Structure 1
Amino acid sequence: MPAPEPTLETALARYLRHVTIERGLSPNTVEAYQRDLEVYLVVLAARGVTTPAAIGSADVTAFVHELRDRPEPLSATSTARMLSSVRGFHRFLLEEGLVERNVAADARPPKLASRLPKAITVDQMAAILATTDGDDERSLRDKALLELLYATGARVSEVVDLNVDDVIRSSAESGEGEAGEHGTADVIRLFGKGGKQRIVPLGSYARAAIDAYLVRARPLLSARGKATPALFLGVRGARMSRQNVWLVIKARAEQSKLGLAVSPHTFRHSFATHLLEGGADVRVVQELLGHSSVSTTQIYTLVTADTLRDMYTTAHPRAR
Structure 2
Amino acid sequence: MASSRGEILEAFGRHLALQRGRSAHTVRAYTADVADLLHHLDPGADPATATGLPPMDLTTLRAWLAAQQRRGMSRATLARRAAAARTFSRWAHRSGHLPADVGARLRSPRPDQHLPTVLRVPDATALLAVARERATGPVQLRDWAALELLYATGVRVAELTAVDTTDVDLRERTLRVTGKGDKQRVVPFGVPAAEAVQAWLARGRPALVTPASGAALFLGARGARLDPRTVRAVLHRLTALAGVHDIAPHGLRHSAATHLLDGGSDLRSVQELLGHASLATTQRYTHVTPERLRAAYTQAHPRA
TM-score of the pair, normalised by structure 2? 0.83
Q: How does 1:121-132 map to 2 (within 5 A)?
A: 121-132=120-131
Inter-partner Cα distance in structure 2 for 1:78 and 1:289: 21
Q: CA separation in 1, counterparts of 2:97 and 2:208?
A: 52
Aligned residue-pair number: 290
Partner of 1:190: 177
Taking structure 1 as reference, are residues 215 and 61 closer, same or farther at Cα in structure 2, changes over 3 Å only?
closer
CA drift at 1:232:
1.4
The aligned counterpart of 1:202 is 189
Give me the whole-angstrom Cα distance separating, in 1, the residues matched to 2:211 and 2:4.
45
Aligned match of 1:234: 220
**For 1:133-171, what per-residue CA distance to the aligned partner results, in whole angstroms no more than 9, with x for missing partners?**
3462344322211111111111111111111111124xx
3-state SS in 2 of match to 1:292: coil
2:301 is the alignment partner of 1:304: no
Q: 1:284 aligns with which of 256, 265, 269?
A: 269
**Which segment drifts farther, 237-246 or 91-100?**
91-100
Mapped partners of 2:86, 2:212: distance in 1? 43
**Which amino acid is 2:261 matched to?**
L
CA deviation map 1:90-109 (0-9, x unaligned): 12234445545422222223
Does the 8 Å CA contact 2:40/2:64 hold for their aligned counterparts?
A: yes
**Cα distance change, pair 227–76 in 1 and its aligned pair in 2 (3 A):** closer
Check the 8 A contact 2:117/2:247 in 1, yes or no: no
Output the aligned Cα RMSD.
2.9
2:254 pairs with one of 269, 276, 287: 269
Q: What is the Cα deviation at residue 122 of structure 1?
A: 0.8
Unaligned ranges ≥5, structure 2: 296-304
Q: Which structure would you say has the larger Rg?
A: 1
Deviations 1:240-283 (A, max 9, x none): 2112211221221111122x112111110011111111121211
Taking only the aligned residue pairs, the percentage that are identical comes to 36
Distance 1:198 1:27 in 2: 18
What one-letter code is carried by the residue in structure 1 that aligns with 2:41?
L
Out of 4-13 and 249-258, give the one that drifted further: 4-13
What's 1:27 paired with? 24
1:123 alignment partner AA = P
Which range moves more in the overlay, 118-127 or 18-27? 18-27
Q: Structure 2 vs 1, CA of residues 10 and 281 (structure 1 numbering), >3 Å: closer, same or farther?
A: same
**Superposition TM-score, scaled by structure 1 size:** 0.80
Deviation at 1:17, TM superposition (A): 1.3
8 Å CA contact 1:53, 1:98 repeated in 2:
no
Asked if the contact 2:92–2:98 (Cα under 8 Å) also holds between the matched residues in 1, the reply is yes
